[in-house]
Amino acid sequence: MDLSYTLVFTVFPYLCLTTFVVGHSYRYVTDRYAWNARSSQLLDNKSLRWGTVLFHLGIILTFLGHAGGLLIPQKYYDLFGITSQMHLAIAHWMGEVVGIAALAGCLLLLRRRLTNDRVRAAGSVNDLITLGGLTLVVAGGVYNVFFGNYNVLDSVAPWIRGIVFFSPEPELMRPVPLGFKIHVTLAWALLGFSPFSRLVHIWSAPVFYFFRNPILFRRNPELTRKVVDSRS
């Protein structure tokens, strides 16, 4: 076994995943005050619109695509009559569409962050790293979809499943072209960085809003105690 492969394709991913899990927990407990999307729409509305919509739609679909395509083994797709050929074709075409959307969004947002005086003044270096990192990862992904021309189902996908299910096999990455190697490594790095950025907002996507009462009341817990007391 080659040490460099173990380091890059086993140790590094686990390092990033650990930071990801521990970082999120730590921040949620100690720094909930800053856990939000840090919207900059108030400062500049017009230039945000297309960038953010394209980016989010693109990235969320990309996210789902990656989860579905990489984490679920091909044999389950075969059960539904989706051959690996079809799977690759779907991944290819969908990837091109949502990847381009996400990339265009990234570039629009990046331009806004760099050129709009107000957004720049209110933003932080962290915001730039986040967006810059995302742009690199997305650009790498789009490059691979267009020019990679490589079957990831038998190499990258089982390697990622290996990491997720704690039986890493770095050797699976040996035949993979450089473009893919760079893409996955940057993606792990971004994952490790994300708890310390505004990306934490992803995990607060407001799903409960769809089920709750419109008007919320909260009672001072001290008073609740008192009511109980007076009845007893």
Partner 1 sequence: MKIRAQYAMVLNLDKCIGCHTCSIPCKNVWTNRDGAEYMWFNNVECKPGIGYPKKWENQEIHKGGWHLNGDTLQLKAGGRIHKGLNIFHNPDLPVIDDYYEPWNYDYARLIESPKRKHQPSVRPHSRLTGKPIDLKWGPNWEDDLAGLGETGAGDANFKNLEIATYLQFRNVFMFWLPRLCEHCLNPACVASCPSGALYKREEDGIVLVDQERCRGWRYCVSGCPYKKVYFNWKTGRAEKCIFCYPRVEAGLTTLCAHSCVGRIRYVGVLLYDLDRIAETAAAPSDQDVYPAHLDILLDPNDPDIERAAASQGIAPNMLAAAKKSPVYALIKDWRLALPLHPEFRTLPMVWYVPPLSPVSRQIDPSQEADAIDRMRIPITYLANLLTAGDEAPVRMALQRLAAVRRYMRTQRVEKQADTGVLDAVGLDEETVAKIYRLLALARLEDRFVLPTKSVVQDEDSYARQGCCGFGEAL
Residues near ligand HEM (CB under 6 A): 37, 39-41, 48, 52, 56, 59-60, 63, 109, 113, 130-131, 134, 199, 201-202, 205
Smallest distance, Å, CB 199 to partner 1?
13
Of the pair 131, 163, the CB lying nearest ligand HEM is at 131
**219 touches, from ligand HEM, partner 1, none (C-beta below 5 to 8 Å by class):** partner 1
Cα–Cα distance measured from residue 173 to residue 169, given in angstroms and rounded to the nearest whole number:
8
Cα–Cα distance measured from residue 91 to residue 82, given in angstroms and rounded to the nearest whole number:
12
Q: What are phi and psi of 28, to 5 degrees?
A: -65, -35
Cα–Cα distance measured from residue 74 to residue 91, given in angstroms and rounded to the nearest whole number:
13
Which residues, 6 or more positions from 181, have their beta carbon under 8 angstroms from its beta carbon? 8, 173
User: Cβ(138)–Cβ(108) under 8 Å?
Assistant: no
User: Cβ(150)–Cβ(114) under 8 Å?
Assistant: no
Position 169 contacts partner 1 (CB under 8 A): no
> Could you tell me the two tokens for 208?
């409960």
Of the pair 56, 161, the CB lying nearest partner 1 is at 56
Binding track over 50-79 against partner 1, x by CB under 8 A? --xx-xxx----------------------
Which residues, 6 or more positions from 230, have their beta carbon under 8 angstroms from its beta carbon? none
Of the pair 88, 199, the CB lying nearest ligand HEM is at 199
User: Cβ(99)–Cβ(141) under 8 Å?
Assistant: yes
Position 210 contacts partner 1 (CB under 8 A): yes
Position 201 contacts partner 1 (CB under 8 A): yes
User: Cβ(155)–Cβ(172) under 8 Å?
Assistant: yes
Task: State which of residues 1, 81, 178, 222 lies at the interface with partner 1 (CB under 8 A).
Answer: 222
Count of residues making up the chain:
232
Cα–Cα distance measured from residue 207 to residue 96, given in angstroms and rounded to the nearest whole number:
28
Smallest distance, Å, CB 68 to partner 1?
21
Of the pair 87, 113, the CB lying nearest ligand HEM is at 113
Of the pair 34, 164, the CB lying nearest partner 1 is at 34
Position 30 contacts partner 1 (CB under 8 A): no
Question: How many residues sit in the footprint of partner 1 (CB under 8 A)?
Answer: 48
- What one-letter code names the amino acid at 134? L
Cα–Cα distance measured from residue 126 to residue 232, given in angstroms and rounded to the nearest whole number:
55
Position 24 contacts partner 1 (CB under 8 A): no
Which region, judged by CB under 8 A, interacts with partner 1, from 15-23, 143-151, 158-166, 217-225? Answer: 217-225
**45 touches, from ligand HEM, partner 1, none (C-beta below 5 to 8 Å by class):** partner 1
